[in-house]
Amino acid sequence: MKKGLILLAITAFLGNTTAWAAPKTADEYIDSGEEYFAKGDYDLAIAEYTKAIKIDPKNAIVCFYRGSAYHKKGDYNRAIADYNKAVKIDTNFAKAYNNRGYAYDNKRDYDRAIADYTQAIQIDPNYASAYHNRGYVYHYNKGDYDRAIADYTQAIRSNPNHADAYYDRGYAYYRKEDYDQAIADFTQVIRIAPNYSSLVYYKRGFAYYMKEDYDRAIADYTQMIRIDPKFVEAYNDRGYSYRDFTIAEYTQRIIYSNFASAYNDRGSAYRDKGDYDRAIADYTQAIKYNPTFLTYGSRGSTYYNKGDFDRAIADYTQVIQLSPNYADAYFYRGNAYYEKGDYDRSIADNTQAIRINPNFAGAYNNRGFTYLDKGDYDRAIDDFTQAIRIDPNNAGSYYNNRGVAYNFKGNYDRAIADLDQAIRLDPNIANSYRHRAFSYMKKGNNKQARADVNKAMQLDPNYQSAQNLSAELRQLGY
């Protein structure tokens, strides 16, 4: 949750008064300024603080207060100017550094914001809000989840009931796909602050969903809906959690959201159930209300799943017309061209996807596979290598495909090395064992080839290519 300004408690030191009403003191102006501030009347608060500053220009606290009032008005430059005065007068004014950091944060000057939060922490190592605010910048503005988590943790150590720190740390863990830690933190928020934002149930429900704990996900989404019946995303995600019962959830959304969105999501539910005709009908209806490139893309994917590649291509082409720099549209249209056997157009589309997104590993892989089918093994190897470079931790299929290309070139040692790596990344892909069996057989290691082909048939008893290779090995006595 977004952090707020830190305000100092004011103790008003009232001067002696006489019947003839002595002039107000700086402290009295501060006191009346604080009353206006509490009412949200920041202009009058600023006027009172300004009078106090004229009387006592070396008073760091009143400079801080006026800066806070300017900050509340969204006048960040004047706020920063007053915070500057405060820290110049009192170099150990941690709260002024914190608030100046927050003003820089509002101005999107994140490096200066971090520097100020750090200064506040150096002055006061137990300053929970400064840790939280710095963590927030690392998290939401820098994408540095590890540093964010470290800062949120320190904020919690300083203030064990800091609900915002638990919430934001939970979301940072979620972004790191550490769903157990995310759930623990969101649960702690609910324990500490039962009336906290209902979004905590939504976020925790999403974490449960990612763990495939659908019953708990549904319970949290349901709680979110009880608190805010018009929060349409909760209906949407509860629908996903119900798995087989999503259509009723998406139909319910029609009550609360625009028709296009409801038809689109119900179409996705039909598509997930394999009811492609109803899905297409809903997508078509959504396009009638709001012809977005995403809905054309969803309908195109459904046509693709039906094997209607011409209509899929037509829809992907419409996506490209609406959003010419959407790399995925070229990628998916390239897949449809590939299925039609139009390899040149498939290559052209994947090439365009790569131009738009040079780190699109899937496009390199698919273009490489198309080159493989065209017998252009060197280009295929180059593309699979690029895919591996871009995404080495999810490259099982890329290593497999490059191994197959090396097999076609007769380079069996490199094929085995790649297929070894593919199996290490995913030991349950029959295709990798079958191709490695072929490599071993070509090298004369028929015993190892037999072990691999047996493994391939164990993983996929209907794998005809593995059965054919097994028959060849039997003829060789293995």
Give the pTM: 0.53
Q: How far apart are CA 343 and CA 55, in angstroms?
A: 81
Number of domains comprising the chain: 1
pLDDT digits (tens, 9 = 90+) for 453-462: 999 999 999 9
Please report the pLDDT score of residue 140 as a whole number.
92
User: For residue 54, is it within any domain?
Assistant: no
Instruction: Summarize the confidence of residues 182-205 as an average pLDDT.
Output: 92
Tens of pLDDT, residues 412-427: 999 999 999 999 999 9
State the Cα–Cα distance between residues 284 and 427, nearest whole angstrom.
41
How far is residue 366's CA from residue 331's CA, in Å, rounded to a whole number? 8
Token duo for residue 108: 């999107």
State the amino acid at position 215 in one-letter form.
D
pLDDT in tens, 242-270: 654 455 555 555 544 555 666 776 777 77
Give the chain's mean pLDDT: 89
Task: Give the 3-state secondary structure of residue 358.
Answer: coil
Q: Rounded to an integer, what distance in angstroms lies between the CA atom of residue 112 and that of residue 128? A: 19
In a domain, 250, yes or no: no
What CA–CA distance (Å, rounded) separates 64 from 30? 11
Does residue 439 form part of some domain? yes
Q: How far apart are CA 39 and CA 37, in angstroms?
A: 5
The reported pLDDT for the residue numbered 394 is 82
Domain-located, residue 435: yes
- Report if residue 57 sits inside a domain: no
Q: Which pLDDT belongs to residue 420? A: 96
Model pLDDT, residue 22: 75
Establish if 463 belongs to a structural domain.
yes
Do residues 110 and 137 touch, judged by C-beta distance below 8 A?
yes
Q: Angle 94-106/60-72 helices, nearest 10 degrees?
A: 20
Q: What is the pLDDT of residue 241?
A: 65
Query: DSSP states of 360-426 as a string?
Result: -HHHHHHHHHHHHHTT-HHHHHHHHHHHHHH-GGG-HHHHHHHHHHHHHHT-HHHHHHHHHHHHHH-
Neighbours of 92 (CB within 10 A): 12
Two structure tokens written together for 473: 């090995």
Range of the domain at 447: 428-478
Is 454 among the domain residues?
A: yes
Q: How far apart are CA 253 and CA 159, in angstroms?
A: 40
Distance (Å, whole) CA 459 – CA 462: 9
Is 138 part of any domain?
A: no
